[in-house]
Amino acid sequence: MDNITIREIKISDSEDFVIFLNIVSDETDFLLLNSKERNLDVGKEAKIIRSIKRERKSVIFVAEFEDRIIGSSGLHFNGKSNRVSHRATFSISLLKDFWGKGIASRLTEYIINYAKVIDLEKIELTVRADNEKAIKLYKKFGFETEGEIKHYFYINGKYYNAYIMALFI
Ligand SMILES: CC(C)(COP(=O)(O)OP(=O)(O)OC[C@H]1O[C@@H](n2cnc3c(N)ncnc32)[C@H](O)[C@@H]1OP(=O)(O)O)[C@@H](O)C(=O)NCCC(=O)NCCS
């Protein structure tokens, strides 16, 4: 899709970002939290975005369509310790209407390029083992499976395993 803009999140996006997160969190159960559990608040979100902007090794990119946030990808630095400062955690989600159009691939490219610029060595993620679309996306960019966690999720009376995946840069 040509009319999609990818850019870094701004503090002024807080309200739109909360709207996006609330919808995306309830459209699938592939994410860790639903909107109720997230309990999002525009003021709190603005603080989070501000702190991410201060932290060089964390970033959020948003995909925008007609002035609306329809997707996002993020890198979250794993703590203050020098001993883990070579790696960060990747997350990505898109509104369902926009799946299968290559937008997630563009959001992932932005993350990988950003990780190279800040000299990160490893990008990590956890994905539900039956999330085929996400796993195909990650493998396409060279992520490898490092392990499987049994019964990682418990959703509506059913257990799901998860893969730990990583990209070495
Ligand atoms: C996972 C997700 C981000 C993928 O987004 P997407 O826009 O469909 O991805 P893209 O269109 O960029 O496709 C990327 C790759 O995914 C795979 N893919 C896309 N649509 C697919 C489909 N319908 N079936 C199987 N694989 C598919 C393909 O390998 C594709 O590569 P290609 O374009 O070279 O064929 C999206 O489905 C989503 O937001 N899901 C809900 C949240 C989520 O699960 N996040 C990940 C949590 S770990």
Its CATH architecture, for the domain 5-120, is 3-Layer(aba) Sandwich (3.40)
Note the pLDDT of residue 144: 98
Catalytic residue among 138, 159, 160, 163: 138
Question: What's the CA gap between 74 and 107, in Å, rounded?
Answer: 9
Question: What's the CA gap between 103 and 116, in Å, rounded?
Answer: 20
CB atoms under 10 Å from CB of 63, counted, come to: 25
Note the pLDDT of residue 65: 97
Collapse the DSSP code of 26 into the 3-class scheme (helix H, G, I; strand E, B; otherwise coil) and give the result. helix
Domain extents for the chain? Answer: 5-120
Percent helix, percent strand, percent coil in the chain, to nearest 5: 40, 35, 25
Angle at 52 between CA 165 and CA 135, to 5 degrees: 20
Q: Which residues line ligand 1 (CB under 6 A)?
A: 28, 30-31, 92-94, 99-105, 125, 127, 131-134, 136-137, 140
Instruction: Give every residue of the chain whose pLDDT is below 50, as ranges.
Output: none
Note the pLDDT of residue 81: 86
E strand intervals along the chain: 5-8, 59-65, 68-77, 87-94, 122-128, 144-155, 158-168
Structural tokens at position 72: 């996002």
Report which DSSP code applies to 161: E
